[in-house]
Amino acid sequence: MRALDVSQRLIVLCGRAISPRMPRRRRLAHPPPLERNLRPIIIFLTVCTASRKPLLARNAAHELLHRAWSVATTWDVGRYVVLPDHVHMFCAPRDDVPLLTWVRYWKTLVSRHWPWPSEQPIWQRDYWDTQLRSDESYEAKWEYVRNNPVRHGLISGADAWPYAGELRVLDW
């Protein structure tokens, strides 16, 4: 590879010159889950409210989310925690429906039945997803998630948070 002139302001990455003025990604990349050695696929998912509005930590919203996840059966919801402005959950595919399609579906169900119309829109357009690699990763993430209300100063002990649960056991 030839030497690059600093004035060209190029970055060399993996043997290729790349311009630092590359366009920024407008949406997050959501690669499809990968099967690894016949291990189950478990996704750690975070979905936020629009403008991080604190709308979710109340009984009616919790029940509505629970109902939507029960109706949207192409993915199973395992453990979850609903916080005022976001939801953390573990989910696993039941069918070949992409995660993006499933998330849009249950977000739409919740939005359609939302009892407070003045709070619309409810959801950010995108979400964060990570495929778990091991049982240790699952347990570590769950400890992080269940203690989230404590870290946010909402309660003193994780077990006291009323907006958490498990719809299905996702076995590793």
Greatest CA separation found in the chain? 64
pLDDT exceeds cutoff 80 at 23: no
Token output for 34: 């990968």
pLDDT exceeds cutoff 60 at 3: no
Q: What is the mean pLDDT of residues 69-95?
A: 96
CATH number, domain 38-166: 3.30.70.1290
Residue 112, number of CB atoms within 10 A of its CB? 9
pLDDT exceeds cutoff 50 at 170: yes
Cα separation of the two ends of the chain = 46
The reported pLDDT for the residue numbered 18 is 45
What would the pLDDT profile of 53-81 be if each residue is shown by its tens digit? Answer: 999 999 999 999 999 999 999 999 999 99
The reported pLDDT for the residue numbered 91 is 96
What would the pLDDT profile of 125-143 be if each residue is shown by its tens digit? Answer: 999 999 998 878 889 999 9
The reported pLDDT for the residue numbered 134 is 81
- Write the CA distances from 29 to 47, 75, 110, 130, integer angstroms: 15, 20, 24, 11
Residues whose CB is less than 8 angstroms from the CB of residue 52 and which lie 6 or more positions away in sequence, other chains included: 85, 86
Token output for 24: 């920024």
Q: What is the mean pLDDT of residues 17-45?
A: 60
Highest-confidence segment of 4-8, 32-36, 52-56: 52-56
The reported pLDDT for the residue numbered 54 is 97
Q: Residue 85: which of 111, 49, 51 has the closest Cα?
A: 49
Phi, psi of 70 (to 5 degrees): -70, -30
Domain ranges of the chain: 38-166
Q: Running DSSP on this structure, what letter comes out for residue 127?
A: -
Average pLDDT score over the chain: 84
- The strand pair at 75-82 and 43-48 is best described as unpaired
pLDDT exceeds cutoff 60 at 13: no
pTM tops 0.95, yes or no: no
